Amino acid sequence: MSILPNSRLTAWQILRRWSPQGTYAEDMVEREASRHNLSGPNRALLNAIVLAVLRHRTLLDLWIDHFRSSGSLEDDAREWLRTGLVQLHIMGMPEHAAVNETVALAGRARGLVNAVLRRSLRERDELQRLRRAAPPHVRHSMPEFLVREWSRRFTPDEVEALCEWGNAPAPICVRINPLAKRAPDFSRARRLDGPVEGWFEVDDLPRAELAAGQCYAQDPSTGIAPRMLRAKPGHTVLDACAAPGGKAGILAADMENAGTIIATDSSAKRLERLRDNMARMSVSIVEPHLQDWEKHPEPAWFRERFQDGFDRILLDVPCSNTGVLRRRVDARWRLQPDFFTIITRVQHHLLLRMLALLKPGGRLVYSTCSIEPVENIQLVRAVIKEAPGWQLLEDKLLLPHRDHTDGAYAALIERTA
C-alpha cells in the first residue's frame, strides 16, 4: 500500500474518534502524524482532509442524505462518505486518487462508498444546486443560532462573506522576533499590511526559523491587544491568560526585554509551552506562574511583590472564538445557544478582578478573538458602569470579512482613581 492511503486512513480514524467536547482536531492530527512518522506532504494531506470534513460537516451530510434518502447508515460508512466527498467536491482532488484510494480503504462499506462517490461525479451540478439552495447555516456548516445572530447585525452579503471566511483554510502567518540575534530571510515572503506591522505570510511553515526563535507563528490580529497596551521598558506587566505566549513575546519586544512580565495560566501543560516559547524567543523578562484567577483571586506572590498593583495588564479572556473559526475548526461545534450566557459571566468576573490589580493611572487591555458585541463592547461598558474609577480610552474590532484578517477585539481601559 502506498503512503497516500495511510493519510486518508488516519484521517478517517481521527474523524471517527473526534467529538465536539473532546480533544482538539489539530492536536489529534499532530499526535497521529508523529506516531505514524508521516512525511511533510502526507502530514499536510492528513491535516487538510480532517479540517475540511469538520469545516463542511453539515453540507457533506446534506449531500449524503441526497444519495441515501432512506435506510440507516453506519457511522463508519458515513465518515468514509464524508472523507471521499470532501476530497472530490471541496478540496478538488484528482478523481482517481480521491475515489480509488478512499474506496480501497473503506472495508465493508467499499461497495456503498464506490457507488456514492462515482454517482456524485455524475451529479456535480445537482450537488452544487443543493448547496446554493440550502440555508446559510447548512451551506456553510455553521451553528444555526450563530448565523441567525449574525443576520441581525450584518447584511446577507456580509453574512455570506463571514461564513466563507470561516471555512477558508487559514494561511501561515509569522511575526518577526526583534529580540532574536539574527533576522530570518523572508525576502520571498509576502509582507502583510494588516492591523500591525512585522508580519509575513509564507507558503510553508519555516520550521528552522521558528526553532531558532527568529519568528513566531500567529495571525496579525493577535497583535492589536499587546500593541494597544503600549508597555514600556521598566514596566511591571501582568499577562493574565498568557499561554502559549504569543502576546507575551510581543510585550517583551515592546519593552526591549527590560522590566517584568508576570505570565499566568491555569494549565500547567500550556504554561510549559510558554516557558519553551519564551526561551526560544530570547525573552528574559517573563516569569511564568500557574494561576487560576477565578478560584484563587490573590496569590501569595502578588501579595508579596505587587501589592501596589501593575503598570499594565493584558487580559485575553476565554471566549467563543467566533473571529477565528477558520483556524479553530472545533469551535463552531462546541458552541451552544447558552454558551454566551456562561462565558460572559466568566469574562465579567475576570475583568473586574484584573481592574482591581492596576496601579492608579495604570492601563489594562481587555481582548477576545470573538466578534460578538456581548463579549466585547457591551461587556466592557457594563463593567465600567459597575466599577467607577475607570475609563475606556479606545477600542478596536477586527471583522474578518471587512479587515481580511482573523476577528479580534481589544479595549484599552485606564484607572483614573
One of 163, 241, 319, 369 is an active-site residue; which one?
369
Q: Count CB neighbours of 131 within 10 A.
A: 16
Cα–Cα distances (Å) from 211 to 28, 34, 215, 249, in that order, read 22, 17, 9, 15
CA–CA separation, 106 vs 104, rounded Å? 6
- Which DSSP category does 192 fall into? P
Residue 363 grid coordinates = 492601563
CA–CA separation, 284 vs 259, rounded Å? 9
- Please answer whether residues 60 and 53 qualify as being in contact, where contact means their C-beta atoms are separated by less than 8 angstroms: yes
CA–CA separation, 116 vs 281, rounded Å? 50
319 is catalytic: no
The CB-based long-range contact list for 36-39 (8 Å cut-off, 24+ gap) reads: 36/6, 36/10, 38/3, 38/6, 38/7, 38/10, 39/3
Please state whether beta strands 260-265 and 236-239 pair in parallel, antiparallel, or not at all (unpaired): parallel
Cα–Cα distances (Å) from 284 to 219, 223, 289, in that order, read 23, 20, 15
CA–CA separation, 287 vs 143, rounded Å? 39
CA–CA separation, 81 vs 99, rounded Å? 10
Residue 184 grid coordinates = 530570518
Active site residues: 369
